Amino acid sequence: MKFDGKVIKYGDNVDTDVIIPARYLNTIDKKELASHCMEDLDTTFVSRVQEGDIMVAGFNFGCGSSREHAPIAIKESGIALVIAKSFARILYRNSINIGLPIIECPEAVDAISEGDKLSVDMDKGVIKNETTGTEYKTEPFPPFIQSIIANGGLIESIKAGKIK
């Protein structure tokens, strides 16, 4: 998978309560969830995010609640990929399970600024910052997780008989 997009950057410990506040969890409608994405941290996000943008964040991205509504809201808002220094574990597995691409790469995050243009090749594990000309290597996912992603998420993996 390859991605080209503009960066929207946040700091450490972005929790699921600011990604999608609980007051909006009375719906499972993806578009409605996306319309409140990041609202308690950044009220400008929804109006400025564009299809294909890349979210970049610090350590422990998505800490807190297990709400899958958080990665759903991010994905539906148009974000194509999230790069963070580290991910909280439930958001990490939720993202894989719903097919929101994520990459852990602390070095790259430090060298990326808001508004930078990135091109990312997930298969080769390369993040290129087109704005600064720097390039970073990332660790590929283990084969088991790659197969979930390749099948289009956990539900599709089960349907394909990959998990019995």
Contact footprint for other proteins (CB under 8 A): 13, 15, 17-18, 21-23, 25-28, 40-41, 59-60, 63-69, 71-72, 86, 88-90, 93-94, 97-98, 142, 144-145, 148, 153-155, 158-159, 163-164
Location of structure tokens 């410990």: 13
Residue 81 · residue 102 · CB < 8 Å: yes
Give the helix ranges, DSSP H, for the chain: 16-19, 30-34, 45-48, 69-76, 89-98, 106-110, 143-150, 154-159
Closest distance of CB 122 from other proteins, Å = 19
Give least dist CB 157 to other proteins, A: 8
Nearer to other proteins, 46 or 145 (CB): 145
Which of 78/153 has CB closer to other proteins? 153
Name the burial class of residue 103, with classes exposed (0-12), middle (13-18) and buried (19+) by CB atoms within 10 angstroms of its CB.
Answer: buried
Helices 69-76, 89-98: inter-axial angle, 10-degree rounding: 50
Return the ∠ at Cα 64 (arms to 58 and 65), rounded to 5°.
135
Min CB(32)–other proteins separation in Å: 10
Which residue, 49 or 73, is less far from other proteins as judged by CB? 73
Which is closer to other proteins, CB of 25 or CB of 111? 25
User: Least distance from C-beta 74 to other proteins, angstroms?
Assistant: 13
Instruction: State which residue, 82 or 120, has the beta carbon closest to other proteins.
Output: 82
DSSP assignment letter at 159: H
What is the C-alpha separation between 127 and 39, in angstroms, rounded? 28
* Least gap, CB of 101 to other proteins (angstroms): 15
